[in-house]
Amino acid sequence: MASFTKKPGELLWFSLLGLGMLVGAGTALMVLTKGHSHMYNVSREVPWGILISTYVFFVVSSTGLCLVSSLGHVFGIEQFELIGRRAILLSIITLLTGFGTIAMEINHPIRMAIYVMLTPNLESPIWWMGTLYGIYLVLLIGEFFFLMKNHHKGALTMGILGFIAAVTAHSNLGGVFGLLEARPYWHGSFLPLYFILSALVSGGALISIIVYYNYQFRKIPLPAKYPHFLTTLAKLQALFLMILIFFIIWKIIPGLYGRPPEKYEATMAILTGPLAFNFWFFEVLIGMIAPVMILFTKKFVTPFGVMVAGALCTVGIFFMRYDLVVAGQIVPMREDTDGIINGLVSYAPSLAEYGIVLGALATCMFLYTLAEKVFDLEMKGH
């Protein structure tokens, strides 16, 4: 406690996160006692809501952190070796928070643990999702262990396996949505590819935030190697974002061209319908255009600038996940479904759903900040 009183900023930070976690825990308790249907706004027509999209947000972050950090200790790009421990640690934490979030959405997580073993369905992308992310988690923990021990060979082996697991698990998550023929907006091979690509944007963004946080925010002078690293990261991040914009454009064009049934209505829900503000303001402006402009403006490419771009990307990506999950279900399966407005069903998260999301975000940041205090995450020997 003595160290906290010396750092009022830190005390405030932990108090805020503690408050967020309390809100999350209280909400979770209410959901468990009152039942999902009384607390959540998901419905027969829109069975997957903000908890699923937040889960996707977290696991995409995990994958992205793993992929970007593997540029260092797997692909040997020296500058990226700096962030190995931090990235893998946050990758573990985001993955665990993601699991926690989806456990609050699934009605029977305990039954799940039993029956995915006893009566598995190998045809189910969700079965593979659980299995592959489970393997991925074990590999990440192994990788972190070896990185902490400075065991390069072990870290390399785990890093390679972790990289393969990350790509497999995460493209499969795209498949969870992409293999549903009933949902034309999701269906196809686009989502597995797009999930991998957007994971890179997520990973790059979060790395810029944690590097900045660890030095500037804690008022420790940034070691000389970091500004150089951040400049390289900025270039890479700009490239990832440009590819992401390319992907978004090519997601929209086939949704409009020839007005394909259901895909068109979902695309229009994004462009001009109920999801339009999320899309244009948060996804496009905050999540793509603003960071690209920062990253392409030479005088803004400072540790602070890169961090701001990363933070904006992260906010944008959070909305991107939400819009993707909701847009896929917003077109009703039956034409005369109750409560249709302009041909679409509606969904808005309930207070309880927001409470769980807040709790998850706070828990993730809390665990990470705490880990920074517990572990020595500075890479040695470079």
**Residue numbers at the binding site for other proteins (CB under 8 A):** 35-37, 42-45, 47-48, 106-109, 111-112, 115-116, 118-121, 123-127, 130, 176, 179-183, 328-329, 332-338
Distances from the Cα of 183 to the Cαs of 46, 220, 278, 289, 330, in angstroms? 12, 50, 21, 29, 10
Instruction: Mark 17-51 as b/e (b = at least 16 C-beta within 10 Å).
Output: beebbebbeebbeebeeeebeebbbbbebbebbbb
Smallest gap from residue 181 Cβ to other proteins (A): 6
| Least distance from other proteins to the Cβ atom of residue 186, Å | 9
Smallest gap from Cβ 281 to other proteins, in A, equals 27
Nearer to other proteins, 81 or 265 (CB): 265
182 residue type, one letter: A
User: Tokens at residue 68, please?
Assistant: 């970007």
Q: Which residues of 230-259 are buried (b: 16+ CB within 10 A; e: fewer)?
A: bbebbebbbebbeebeeebeebeeebeeee
CB of 175 to other proteins, least distance (A): 11
Nearer to other proteins, 181 or 376 (CB): 181
Least Cβ distance, residue 355 to other proteins (angstroms) = 19
Token reading at 318: 């959070």
Which residue do the tokens 């828990």 mark? Answer: 363
- Nearer to other proteins by Cβ, of 71 and 132: the residue is 132
SS percent in the chain: helix, strand, coil, step 5: 75, 0, 25
Output the smallest distance, CB 333 to other proteins, in A. Answer: 4
Which one, 338 or 378, has the nearer CB to other proteins? 338
Closer CB to other proteins, residue 46 or residue 312?
Answer: 46
Give the distance between the most distant pair of CA atoms in the chain. Answer: 66
> Least distance from C-beta 24 to other proteins, angstroms?
20
Select 37 or 272, whichever has its Cβ closest to other proteins.
37
Nearer Cβ to other proteins, position 130 or 162? 130
Q: How far apart are CA 271 and CA 141, in angstroms?
A: 41
